[in-house]
Amino acid sequence: MRLRPSRIARESGGRSARALQRLSAELGAHQRGHRRARGPIAFTTTSSPLQQRSLVKMSFARNKGRGAWRAQGRYLSRAGAQREDARGLGFDAERDDLDLPERLDAWQKAGDARLWKIVVSPEAGARADLSGHARQLMAQIEYDLGTRLEWVAIDHHDTAHPHVHIVVRGVDEEGKALLLARDYIRTGIRARSQELLTRTLGHRQEHEYRRARENAISAPRLTEIDRSLLGRADAGGTVSFDDGVPSRPVAQERRQQDLRRLQYLESIGLAERLGPKRWHLSPELVPALRQIQIAGDVQKSLARSRTLVSDRDAPVVLTRMLAGVEVTGRVTGGGIDESRDEPLLIVEGTDGRRHLIPQTTEIVTARGEGRLRPGSVVTLRGGAATRTGDRAMRTEILEHGPLRDLKRAETASTLLDRDALRSVRETGALPSPAPDRRGFFRQWRAAVRARGPVLEREGLLRRSRDEGAERTYEVEKGAERMVEGRMIRGERVPTTLRDLERIHGKESSTTRAEPGRAHQGPVVGYAVDDDGKSYVVLDTGQELTAVPTDRRDLEVGHAVRARAEVTAEQESRERRTLTWALDDVEHEQDRGRER
């Protein structure tokens, strides 16, 4: 999730807004190397190598998707994340028995625009009192911002680095939007955390610092040494050690560690030796190390959760649900990106790759509702939503059911049939077997290939010729649209207005609730627009009409009458609200005949 604190900081606020100018000036002085005492803890000058280290990550969640914040609370409180004797309860400044899902859900229902999420991971997390540190840190943040804050937290011990999650309500004590300065997000909170830890635990010992650097030499992740090498490299990515051996023993040791790290990077293809003391760093160094780290984190997470993966040799890719990204495959479970403590959805793709998908708000909500279960074949699509000039991402989720159920379908009405038709249209043949692969990818290709007779029987595929053991086909006109229409009717899941326009060959329009307005026609499907609003879509003759509603109980193909009417509980002139009433005409006619 990308932070845009500069935009947020322009919103109107209360006491936190009045503290921003003072705080930004203080941080600016800190970054210039000065020390300005403010309150019980002052920012130190440039960070000392012997100061306690703390990794702080910050993000925010918007108020979208009913139950999304509750689902986030359930994730934080999940079983096995805390110590063995913990009960999944959170804490705040005074209590240790908080129900996180209930608290976060209450904030969302109160209409807060966002909530802030902080992950604090001290290097010495195993020795630190994480709950005590969180309370000290939040007290200092309250002082810095000049306002009391509502927050909840929970400590996690399910990764190699114990850490604490802090969720801060997005309003200050006056009920105004909580504002956070860009510099405070980037450096201020981490600086406060490190100063508090150093006061509590003392400075790192020299041997601890040296051991940490030694352990980083062959670590399959982005390390402090890598950042040092990147800082030393020239604009072309070349690192040189032609400046001679330093005289101080400590500097000599650091130099040797840097050289050994370069040798490790060379061994995995992320650095190239140009000479005895010169290397070229790969431009893919950072993303590649990040990918390696995530893959390792997920493997450990899978081992702990005993999640079954059908092909452990499948290529692993990190797939973020950005606009235009689409993934189809079988859900195998969830994992954790330990470097960010970010939940991942793991999908074995029909493309033969294992996708590690950072869970978006929509994915978290769906899993909280019991959807996206292991074994289910799904399609995930990334899209961009634009709300009042604010660009955000959203994820469309289509669930197709288990592979065994798709294989049993007697008619051409499944994702297997659609993929078979696409394969023939693109290559002239059904997918070839994959004898050198195993697991879901091989199963999927075999299942798609097996749909040939069904498609032939229904006249959607026409055999053109046989070439040895391989048959070639041609796709009948309109076959894909017919199968997609059947999928929509059978799965009753929302698609996009663009897809419905393509399938039915008509343009669509979105209707507004106005007095006396009414529409009638058969339901052709359900849709979600770019802003995440839900519709039932009717074929009203010349065009498709999208009627705003969250209902999903209307039968595709049934005639429905939609009319705008005043809601019963708000019929006063002052609060008159128009909504859409939807009536299934065919059901009404059936009931009339029964009478």
Model confidence, pTM = 0.63
Q: How confident is the model at residue 193 (pLDDT cuts 50, 70, 90)?
A: very high
Residue 423 has pLDDT above 90, yes or no: yes
- Buried b / exposed e across 466-497, counting CB within 10 Å, b at 16+? eeeeebebebeeebbebbbbbbbeebebbbbb
The rounded distance, in Å, linking the Cα atoms of 319 and 138 is 34
Q: How confident is the model at residue 505 (pLDDT cuts 50, 70, 90)?
A: confident
Six-digit token string for 37: 């005492």
Six-digit token string for 400: 């197709």
Q: Is 350 exposed, middle or buried (0-12, 13-18, 19+ CB in 10 A)?
A: buried
Residue 146 has pLDDT above 60, yes or no: yes
CATH of domain 5-204: 3.30.930
> What letter does residue 507 receive in the DSSP assignment?
-
The rounded distance, in Å, linking the Cα atoms of 535 and 79 is 36
Angle, vertex CA 392, rays to CA 388 and CA 398, nearest 5: 120
Residue 148 has pLDDT above 90, yes or no: yes
First to last CA, the chain: 57
Six-digit token string for 381: 């699509």
Q: How confident is the model at residue 227 (pLDDT cuts 50, 70, 90)?
A: confident
Residue that wins the pLDDT comparison between 426 and 292 = 426
| pLDDT of 516 | 80
Residue 573 C-beta-side C-alpha neighbours within 13 Å: 0
What are the distances in angstroms from CA 483 to CA 261, 283, 402, 410? 55, 44, 18, 13
Pick the CATH number of 287-402 from 3.40.50, 1.25.40, 2.40.50, 1.10.10: 2.40.50
- pLDDT, tens digit, 9 for 90 and up, residues 479-489: 888 888 888 77
CA dihedral 404, 408, 411, 412 (to 10 degrees): 30
Residue 519 has pLDDT above 50, yes or no: yes
Residue 277 has pLDDT above 80, yes or no: yes
Q: How confident is the model at residue 276 (pLDDT cuts 50, 70, 90)?
A: confident
Residue 90 has pLDDT above 60, yes or no: yes
Residue that wins the pLDDT comparison between 160 and 360 = 360
Shortest CA distance to 294 belongs to which of 332, 331, 328, 344? 344
Rg of the chain over Cα atoms, rounded to whole angstroms, equals 29
| pLDDT of 311 | 79
Mean pLDDT value of segment 500-527: 87
> Residue by residue, what is the 3-state secondary structure of 134-154?
HHHHHHHHHHHHCCCCCEEEE
Where is 425: in which H helix or E strand?
helix 415-427
User: How big is the chain, counted in residues?
Assistant: 595
Residue 413 has pLDDT above 80, yes or no: yes
The rounded distance, in Å, linking the Cα atoms of 508 and 543 is 6
Under 8 Å CB-to-CB from 411, ≥6 apart: which residues?
454, 458, 486
The rounded distance, in Å, linking the Cα atoms of 348 and 332 is 7
Six-digit token string for 307: 């999640």
The rounded distance, in Å, linking the Cα atoms of 38 and 289 is 39
Residue 65 has pLDDT above 50, yes or no: yes
Q: How confident is the model at residue 304 (pLDDT cuts 50, 70, 90)?
A: low
Cβ atoms of 547 and 519 closer than 8 Å: yes
**So where are the chain's domains?**
5-204, 209-283, 287-402, 409-480, 494-594
Six-digit token string for 34: 């000065």
Calculate what percentage of the chain has a pLDDT beyond 70: 81
The rounded distance, in Å, linking the Cα atoms of 8 and 53 is 29
Range picked from 2-11, 113-122, 202-211 for highest mean pLDDT: 113-122
Residue 449 has pLDDT above 70, yes or no: yes
- Listing DSSP states for 234-247 in one string gives -TTSEEE-TT---S
Residue 406 has pLDDT above 70, yes or no: yes
Residue 554 has pLDDT above 90, yes or no: no
The rounded mean pLDDT for the chain is 81
Residue 15 has pLDDT above 70, yes or no: no
Residue 572 DSSP SS3: coil
Pick the range with the lowest mean pLDDT from 56-65, 389-398, 440-449, 513-522: 389-398
